[in-house]
Structure formats: C-alpha cells, structure tokens
Structure 1
Amino acid sequence: MSLQLPTDRLLIREWELGDADAALSVYGAEEVTHWLTPEWHPVTDIRAMRSVLHAWIEAGPNLLPPAGRWAIVRKEDGELVGGLALRLLPPFEEDFELSWAVRPDLWGQGYATEASQAIISWAFSQGIEEVFAVARPNNERAISVARRLGMEWVGETEKYYDMRLQVFRQRPG
C-alpha cells in the first residue's frame, strides 16, 4: 500500500532509492542508531544505505497492513528529516510497534512527534486497536516523544528484543 500522508509541516511517504544520501545522515549517525533495536548498527556508507532502502522497499508489499517504513520529509524544502516504522514486535509478532528516527541536527523541533501522531491516527483508521512504542530506560528523548503523543506508560519488560525496555501504548479515543 502506497502512503502519502501530509501533516502541517511534513510529508510522510514511501522510501525511494534516491533518499540514500539523506537517509545516511539519519541511519549512519551513532547518536541515532544507538537507540534502535539491538541488531541495528550504523550504516557506514552510501552503498550500504541503498541496500537497506532497497530491502525496505522490497519488503513493504509483504508486510501485514498497516505495517510499513516511511520517509519523513519537510514540506517547505523537500528535505528528508527522518524515518518512521510501524511493525510487529518480536517475539510473538502480535503487537504493532511505532518507531521513529530523526537526523540529530534536527532534534528538538517536534518532527518525531508530528509524524508519529499522523501515523498513529492513520494506523487506527486502518483498523488496528493499539500501537506500542518501546524505549530503553535511559532514552529520555524517546520517552518524551511517547509522552507528548499521549501514550500510556504500561511498564517495563524484557519481552521485546531480549532487553529491558519501557513500554508505552496508545489506543483510539
């Protein structure tokens, strides 16, 4: 399913191979990737970033809707500011996890919150009943975004990714 979801300042859209240079400034940054899932490591060069984007683009049609990975682009100048993902959480793949990543030089401008609000609303319109976000206990930025989104703190668990995580949940209404 192709998605073009506008917000006040942003456009959430499908990834394109031409995004590789800009995506590398997000997924190649240690200060971003340090907080992602344990198997994730910084992407080291443009060729590797193209491979990652290619894998995401190819996998998209095979994901259980409304799962996906999208680019976050600033409307005013078309600049890529980050990415979003909505996917099933391991190990049981029953719960949808929302994750976000924003270029470090753009942190603190509300892009993660604005884009995440739009994806959550869209996901609920697609029929899912709840969305989760997980964060390492010392990831204050992610925890703050989850709170700004109005997500409810559920508790701490080691169920996902075999590590201790804070769990937040949002349901429609």
Structure 2
Amino acid sequence: MSLELTTDRLRIREWELDDAEAALEIYGAAEVAHWLTPEWQPVNDAGAMRSVLHAWIEAGPNLIPPAGRWAIVRKDDGALVGGLSLKLLPPYEEDFELTWALRPDVWGQGYATEASRAAIGWAFEQGIDEVFAVARPNNRRAVGVARRLGMEWVGETEKYYDMRLQVFRLRPV
C-alpha cells in the first residue's frame, strides 16, 4: 500500500531501488540482522539488497492493507536511517505486526519510536483494531521501543516464527 507520512524529524515513504546502498547499511549490518526474523536471509552487497528492495516494491500492491514496507528518511538531510513494516504474522496471518530496523549509528535517537507512532496511527485510521510487536526476550532495544509506544506486554509465545518471543499489543485509545 502506498504511504507517505511525516513526523517532526522523519519522512516515511515507499522504498526505491536507488535506496540499495543506504538500505544495506541497515539490513546488511550484523548487529541489525541478528534481531530480524528467522526467515531473513543475510544481505552482503548492494546488488543483493537491490534484489530485496525490488521484491518488496513488487509485492507491495498485493499486500492486504494496511500492510507494507517503507523507508524511514531523516527530513533535515534526506538520509535513509531505517525501515518500517506492517505485515501479517505467521502462521495464521490474522494479526498485524509492526517491525522497525535502523542503522546502528542512529540507535538511541528516538527514530524507531517516532516513525512507529506515525505508522500505528495511520494503521488505526485504516480500520485495524490492534497492532503487535514481537521481540526476542533479550532484545532490550525492541522491548524498550514497544514500551515507549504504549504497547502492553501480553506474554511469551512460540506461535510466531517457531521461536520464543515476547509479544506486545497496542489498541486504539
């Protein structure tokens, strides 16, 4: 689904093939890839990242709204600092999961929370009634973002991705 959102510091927009080099700094970074879902395949060069972006761009129109994958760009300098997605969680594809990934050099600056708030607000405007985030138990950064977003911890499960995960949920107020 096509999306363009802005916050005080960020612009959330569709991915472009020209984003490959900058996206590689996110999805190719070992300290980011370590926390991604088990189905994620490591990306080691710009060509491979370009192929991933191409697949994401092509799949976009076929996703069930409000699902999608977007780039997070800093407004002041146009730098691509992260990625954001709303997707259906396996195995039943009933629950929408919010995911975020940022370049390691911008961690701790509040970008994940800021971008996620905008995406969640937009998703609720599209009519979904809850958004989930899942995190490995020792992923303190992801758990911290979920808590800053006001998500409630609903427990641990192995239902998603066949691994033990912390589950957080947010419903509209």
CA distance in 1, matches of 2:41, 2:59: 19
CA separation in 2, counterparts of 1:42 and 1:101? Answer: 14
Aligned CA RMSD, in angstroms, stands at 0.5
1:135 aligned onto 2:135? yes
- State the shift of 1:41 in Å: 3.1
Runs of at least 4 residues of structure 1 off by over 2 A?
none
Q: Say yes or no: does 1:32 pair with 2:59.
A: no
3-state secondary structure, aligned to 2:50: helix
1:106 and 1:41 map into 2 onto residues whose CA distance is 23
Task: Note the 1:1-173 alignment, pairs <5 A.
Answer: 1-173=1-173
Q: Which amino acid aligns with 1:93?
A: E
Q: TM-score, normalised by structure 1?
A: 0.99
CA distance in 2, matches of 1:108, 1:101: 12
Q: Share of identical aligned residues, percent?
A: 82
Q: Write the distance in 2 (CA, Å) between the matches of 1:47 and 1:156.
A: 37
Superposition deviation, residue 147 in structure 1:
0.2
Q: 1:109: Cα distance to partner?
A: 0.2
Q: Which amino acid letter does the alignment assign opposite residue 110 of structure 1?
A: G
What is the distance in 1 between the residues matched to 2:104 and 2:41?
16
Alignment gaps of 5+ in structure 2: none
Between the aligned partners of 1:136 and 1:144, the Cα distance in structure 2 is 12
Aligned length: 173
- Contact 1:153/1:169, CA 8 A, preserved across alignment: yes
CA distance in 2, matches of 1:37, 1:20: 20
